[in-house]
Chains A and B, each alone.
Chain A
Amino acid sequence: MEIHVIHYLIVSTVMLFCGIYGFFTRKNLLAILISVELILNATNINFAVFNRYLYPDALEGHFFSLFGIAIAAAETAVAIAIIINVYRNVKHVLTDDINELKG
């Protein structure tokens, strides 16, 4: 069986919705962070796939994927730092109890 665009897109869509579902349902900040990574990577896959199949001569999609990976890395670093600080202050990382910073 030949692997086609549609198969890649199915994978990325599943990843996207898994990420959204995880983002809404998980109470643990680390799990939420992982869900956000899933969403980002789903888009990265889409960029790469569309570039590969629709515009084989261009490189923009690949570049966007690389940007997405870089941003994901930076975002993870910042998020981990925040989570560690939260943990130091309240001794857990569950979202239910972290609402003191609301306006």
Chain B
Amino acid sequence: MEYTILILALPVLSFLLLALAGMKMSHRLAGTIGTLVLGVVAVLSYLTAYQYFSAPRMADGTYATLIPYHITWLPFTETLHIDMGILLDPISVMMLVVISTVSLMVHLYSFGYMKGERGFQRYYAYLSLFTFSMLGLVVATNIFQMYVFWELVGVSSYLLIGFYYTKPEAISASKKAFIVTRFADLGFLIGILIYGYYMGTFTFTPDQQMLMQGGMMLPWALGLMFVGGAGKSAMFPLHIWLPDAMEGPTPVSALIHAATMVVAGVYQVARMFTLYMGYAPETIHIVAYVGAFTAFYAAAVACAQSDIKRVLAFSTISQIGFMMVALGVCTSAHPHEGGLGYMASMFHLFTHAMFKALLFLGAGCIIHAVHSNEMSTMGGLRKYMPITHWTFLIACLAISGIPPFSGFFSKDEILTACFAFSPVIGWVMTVIAGMTSFYMFRLYYCIFWGKENKELHAAHTPHESPLTMTLPLMILAAITCVAGFIPFGHFVSSNGTSYDIHLDWSVAGTSIVVALIAIALATWMYLREDQPVADALQRTFPKLHRAAYKRFYMDELWLFVTKKIIFRCVSAPLAWFDRHVIDQFLNFLAWATNALGEEVQPLQNGRIQTYTLWFLGGIVVLTLMLLLV
């Protein structure tokens, strides 16, 4: 499968072409190049997936791990070397499909959404760069290559969030995203270094001898790597960048901040799964608790946001929390005995990428129609935008876990895995799933039903988006309808063997009932034009509502930590030391040299007789030394 190198090479070539020559192209040409390249990449990814999964399984029932392309980049020792290459195994092939599909949809959609924007070519160049980096991340053959591409997706995310560079909010959001994730990546880097130092290798699959020497340090290495993953995947308390990242163009939010980049942390944990199972089972449970808390926190915040993209952002954080929990509750690598969560997590990653991209793209259509992110400007849009309405509804049903949409199947597997681990976690996650249904339907009713903002809509009648924007919606909606029936366990499972997904109806039934109750509650509260119950609740608990609206003051807390503690107690003394000790020492050196020069300078008075007098004096001294010594 040597052609897989093209999957990486084409986007990077398209990036170079669009970045270097894009300004000379028309918008249409630049967009067409980007989209066509992505189309080819998507076809190649599907071909790869087809070939990979149709190949016969190995004797132990797993798919062979293929490395069709591999170079040793920086050799340090016999075993410790940084390689670049392409690794194909079930999860990387699955990710190739997810990324190229969503990226293709976003490329297509951006044609309509970004039409006439300044920097259209630059936008497509960045999209290509991002796609390249993300594909490189998932096919990484070793942890260091993953880290390199990990930083590249960080950069592309930074560039795309700050795409509207004349908007101060976008600039500060891009800086925030970059700094927070960079800060977390420090943990990732230290983890990699510990891993490399104690194991003597950067590969994902160290041999027995390496594990013998370095197994002791693995929990630390993996834990620190998870810090990086938590930053990228917006886990509490490093989630603060993701809601702000919504300042970027909406298709970018769909691609990067919903479907692909933010699940890199989940992917990373899944990648290291066998090591976690063998050597750091406690560490992976920490992952579960972090994920569960994040899922709950984000769901609570999402219930009180008024900006539709912020609601979706918190919903993303919450759903990534679900994936983390699913990975974290695994207790063995066997899919029937405690390893179900791995498959569930990857399945949810897959289905979530599709329906969340759909939600974001739908939100983009709505924003395109009403020119605002605020829910108050919407309401009653269902009659203006039928396609957006129906596709959005499908995505809402999918994320709520209503059969037969894809989210039901994956979420059910997650809940089954949670109940198998501990009933407490299982019930907590079920409640969070109910909260998910509630805030999603709150969002849905506030946008498409409820009170219409008549004056605004009279001044500017909302309209359905052009076909370039609705077509991706319909495709993604179709995927969302059928993706649940994919026998996902046949392709991906914790130990690679084929696993039949079977629904546990006690869990599935409970989750459906909880979801239906939550939807009914949301219908009762938000369907009508006036919302007496919601208003009354808001009046009864003003502080709680305010706190949830302000995201429980996490941003303020971080500002306090950085400004009041880090800046004042660490940075300020360091700055003082720099200014008064280091700078002063260098100033002293300069001053001393200058002063010495001032002293010596009068000797050079330009009178030849003075010079010769010194010369004579020198000779006399030398003569005396020769005579006396």
Contact = CB atoms under 8 A, between A and B. Distances in A.
A100 B616 contact: no
Interface stretch (B107-115, B284-292, B397-405, B603-611): B603-611
B613 A24 contact: yes
Interface string A91-103: 0000110111111
Contacts of A95: 607-609
A103 B608 contact: no
A24 B612 contact: yes
A20 interface: yes
Interface in A70-101: 95-96, 98-101
Contact of B604 (A23, A24, A100, A103): A103
A21 B613 CA distance: 10
Contacts of B612: 23-24
A24 B606 contact: no
A102 B613 CA distance: 17
A102 B609 contact: no
B594 to A, nearest CB: 18
Contacts of B604: 102-103
**Chain B binding surface SS class:** helix
A103 B605 CA distance: 9
A99 B605 contact: yes
A101 B606 CA distance: 7
A24 to B, nearest CB: 6
Interface string B594-622: 00000000001111110011001000000
A25 to B, nearest CB: 8
A99 B608 CA distance: 9
A103 B608 CA distance: 12
Interface in A1-33: 20, 23-24, 32
A32 B609 CA distance: 10
Contacts of A102: 604-606
A98 B507 CA distance: 106
Contacts of B607: 95-96, 99
Contact of A20 (B606, B608, B616): B616
Nearest to B613: A24
A99 B616 CA distance: 20
Interface residues of B, number: 9
A102 B606 CA distance: 4
A96 B604 CA distance: 14
A23 B613 CA distance: 10
A103 B611 CA distance: 13
Contacts of A103: 604
A100 B613 contact: no
A97 to B, nearest CB: 10
A82 to B, nearest CB: 12
A89 to B, nearest CB: 15
Contacts of B608: 95
Contacts of B616: 20, 24
A98 B609 CA distance: 11
Contacts of A101: 606
B606 A100 contact: yes
B122 to A, nearest CB: 56
Contacts of A23: 609, 612
A67 B205 CA distance: 88
Contacts of A32: 609
A24 B605 contact: no
A100 B607 CA distance: 9
A100 B609 CA distance: 15
Interface in A26-74: 32
B365 to A, nearest CB: 77
A24 B612 CA distance: 8
A96 B607 CA distance: 7
A102 B604 CA distance: 7
A30 B23 CA distance: 77
A102 B602 CA distance: 11
A98 to B, nearest CB: 8
B471 to A, nearest CB: 80
A88 B239 CA distance: 85
Nearest to B616: A20
Contacts of A98: 606
Nearest to A102: B606
A96 B610 CA distance: 11
A39 to B, nearest CB: 11
Scoring A20, A96, A99, A101 by chain B CB atoms within 10 A of each residue's CB, the highest score goes to A99
Contacts of B606: 98-102
A98 B606 CA distance: 8
Nearest to A101: B606
A96 B462 CA distance: 95
A20 B606 CA distance: 19
Contacts of A99: 605-607
A103 B609 CA distance: 16
A102 B601 CA distance: 11
Nearest to A27: B609
A5 to B, nearest CB: 23
Scoring A20, A24, A101 by chain B CB atoms within 10 A of each residue's CB, the highest score goes to A24
Contacts of B609: 23-24, 32, 95
Contacts of B613: 24
A99 B603 CA distance: 13
A42 to B, nearest CB: 15
22 contacts: A20-B616, A23-B609, A23-B612, A24-B609, A24-B612, A24-B613, A24-B616, A32-B609, A95-B607, A95-B608, A95-B609, A96-B607, A98-B606, A99-B605, A99-B606, A99-B607, A100-B606, A101-B606, A102-B604, A102-B605, A102-B606, A103-B604
Interface of B: 604-609, 612-613, 616
Interface of A: 20, 23-24, 32, 95-96, 98-103
> 9 tightest CB-CB pairs across the interface, nearest first?
A102-B606, A99-B606, A99-B607, A24-B609, A102-B604, A24-B613, A99-B605, A95-B607, A95-B609
Given A98-B606, A103-B604, 14 more contacts: A23-B609, A23-B612, A24-B609, A24-B616, A32-B609, A95-B608, A95-B609, A96-B607, A99-B605, A99-B606, A99-B607, A100-B606, A102-B605, A102-B606
